[in-house]
Amino acid sequence: MLNIIDKAEKRVLVITGLLLALFVFSILYAKGKYKTDLPECLPYDKAYTEPKLVKLDEHTYQVFAVAQMWSFQPSEIYIPVGSEVDFFLTSKDVVHGFNITEKNINMMAIYGNINKTTVRFDKPGVYDIICHEYCGLGHQNMKAQVIVNFPRPK
């Protein structure tokens, strides 16, 4: 039995290999250029289900965000410029999306699960958090904000 590969089949294999290599290179290049990070999935703990902002030091914070129909809690997060924030995210009901505009952060809030990601805010401004996963009739109103370098209202 002879193992002869036709020229056309060789071309298809070479082109496929080159396209696969280009795809892998593109993914690795984008990961480095845009500094994307995958969220971590943590073991479930009820301590994460209470929405709050915790200040660890002058520029390190933890946000325990809870998604529920049709809001994020806390709904406003005030931090100074240059802060690094660990977001711990869960849901009280259905699946919700968690997208921070201009920061390339995209997580899912799932009941019974805790997702974690770390974000650095180097520029002042208002960063909107929106739900990008349809969660019911009030979905379009599900928003929150990270307010960087603005004084906290009294």
| The token pair that represents 34 in the structure block | 């845009």
pTM: 0.73
d(CA 79, CA 61): 8
As a whole number, the mean pLDDT across the chain is: 88
CB 129 within 8 A of CB 99: yes
Write out the two tokens for 86.
Answer: 């660990």
Task: Residue count of the chain, please give it.
Answer: 154
At 64-102, the pLDDT tens digits run: 999 998 899 999 999 999 999 999 999 999 999 999 988
* Helix H or strand E encompassing 31: helix 7-33
Question: How is residue 29 written in tokens?
Answer: 């290049």
* pLDDT over 60 (residue 151): no
Q: Quickly count: other Cβ atoms within 10 Å of residue 145's Cβ.
A: 19
Partners of 90 in the β-ladder: 66
pLDDT of residue 87: 95
pLDDT, one tens digit per residue, over 26-72 is 888 877 776 666 677 788 888 888 999 999 998 899 999 999 988 99
Element (H, E) at 93: none
How far apart CA 97 and CA 110 sit, in angstroms, is 9
